[in-house]
Amino acid sequence: MSKLYFKYGAMGSSKTAQALMCKFNYEQKGFKVYLFKPKSDNRTIVDGQAVVSSRIGLKSKCNEFDCQDDFFKLCEKYDIKGEREVIIVDECQFLTKRQVNELKDISLNMPVLCYGLLTNFKTELFEGSKRLIEIADSIMEIKSICKCGRKATVNARLVDGKIATSGEEISIGADELYESMCYACYKEKLENQNKK
């Protein structure tokens, strides 16, 4: 029986590269892979075509979804039937709870692999990630390293070099606005900036 997978990691943990390598691997074995990403990420439209691209240079065309989309309908639209087919979702933290529920049902017929962040810059679970933790059949952490060498677990948002602790969950901006760090470094930086 196929499964719903959740593979999460902090920013810069090569999640997207791993999603693309997974796609390549399935395709080599003759599977058809449908790659999805949320529409909110508008940095990766190339010549009008949505593209998933990783920092280490891998990229692939993809389909987009927004929070209104119904994955059963998307399966009809793209003629996804399940036989030797796979769905991969990048930036899956932006799935809604309802969409994760849909993917869970779809995963009864085909593998569904979701790659994304666990928590937002306030160290709170994203809606999609929370639901995936609750109902995914397989949960795997993709590890990355803090400057100090410990495991990075916090996705800090930096505004003018300072850690932000409030604001909207989604801000349109460049990657350099975020830094993944371990909780000890996060707490230390937060305390230092509050002293000033």
- Closest approach, Cβ 163 to Zn ion, in A, equals 13
Q: How far, in Å, CA of 54 to CA of 157, rounded? A: 20
Which residue lies nearer to Zn ion by CB, 51 or 145? 145
Which residue lies nearer to Zn ion by CB, 77 or 143? 143
Site for Zn ion in 109-168 (CB under 5 A): 146, 148, 150
- Closest approach, Cβ 10 to Zn ion, in A, equals 11
Q: Please provide the DSSP assignment of 102-161 as one string.
A: HHHHHTTTS-EEEEE-SB-TTS-B-HHHHHHHHH-SEEEE---B-TTSSBP-EEEEEETT
Give the ranges where the chain is alpha helix by DSSP (H).
Answer: 15-28, 71-77, 97-106, 127-135, 183-195
Q: Is 91 a catalytic residue?
A: yes
- Closest approach, Cβ 9 to Zn ion, in A, equals 16
Catalytic residue (choose from 85, 91, 102, 179): 91
2: left (phi over 0), alpha (psi -120 to 50) or beta: beta
Please report, for residues 57, 105, 138, 139, the alpha-carbon distance to residue 5 in angstroms, rounded to integers and kept in the order given. Answer: 24, 13, 5, 6
Q: How far, in Å, CA of 126 to CA of 138, rounded? A: 18
- Give yes or no for residue 185 binding Zn ion (CB under 5 A): yes
Which residue lies nearer to Zn ion by CB, 92 or 185? 185
Region of 58-66, 89-97, 102-110, 182-190 interacting with Zn ion (CB under 5 A)? 182-190
- Closest approach, Cβ 133 to Zn ion, in A, equals 24
Region of 74-82, 122-130, 131-139, 180-188 interacting with Zn ion (CB under 5 A)? 180-188
Size of the site for Zn ion (CB under 5 A): 5
Binding site for Zn ion (CB under 5 A): 146, 148, 150, 182, 185
- Residues marked active site are found at 91
